[in-house]
């Protein structure tokens, strides 16, 4: 079975550029989560969707960040404009149920470097 698929695996961009990260959740999963991981702050929840609807976006750092889930099999996280402090590993995860206590299946992440 295919797991959660993220692209690209690595992204290097210059400050001010737009960055789009992509995620395909596991088929049949109802919830999708975007996390950011840094050494300083660990793993932080940015936003999560249930049945394609954003439920909690309180972790989105600021207006430069936006996320969409146009259908059950695809989500994007966009940063515009990007800044060096956005450099981190961004993970997408999906789960079967609605609740946050459900088992999360993580993708391999996108390593973002903003120069």
List of residues contacting another protein (CB under 8 A): 4, 41-45, 56, 91, 93, 99-101, 103-109
C-alpha pair distances (Å), 28 with each of 39, 46, 81, 92, 96: 32, 22, 33, 15, 7
Tokens for 31?
């919830």
Which one, 74 or 106, has the nearer CB to another protein? Answer: 106
What is the C-alpha to C-alpha distance for residues 32 and 65, in angstroms, rounded to an integer?
A: 16
User: Minimum distance between the CB of residue 54 and another protein, rounded to whole angstroms?
Assistant: 14
Which one, 42 or 70, has the nearer CB to another protein? Answer: 42
User: Minimum distance between the CB of residue 36 and another protein, rounded to whole angstroms?
Assistant: 11
User: Minimum distance between the CB of residue 81 and another protein, rounded to whole angstroms?
Assistant: 27
User: Minimum distance between the CB of residue 59 and another protein, rounded to whole angstroms?
Assistant: 9
DSSP alpha helix (H) spans, 27-83: none
Which one, 56 or 87, has the nearer CB to another protein? Answer: 56
């Amino acid at each position: 079975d295919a797991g959660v698929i993220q692209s690209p695996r690595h992204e290097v961009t210059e400050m001010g550029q737009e960055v789009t990260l992509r995620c395909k959740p596991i088929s049949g999963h109802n919830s999708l989560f975007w996390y950011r991981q840094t050494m300083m702050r660990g793993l932080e929840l940015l936003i999560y969707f249930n049945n394609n609807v954003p439920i909690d976006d309180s972790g989105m750092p600021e207006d430069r960040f936006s996320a969409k889930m146009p259908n059950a099999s695809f989500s994007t996280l966009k940063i515009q404009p990007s800044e060096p402090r956005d450099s981190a590993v961004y993970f997408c995860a999906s789960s079967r149920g609605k609740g946050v206590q459900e088992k999360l299946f993580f993708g391999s992440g996108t390593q973002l470097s903003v120069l």
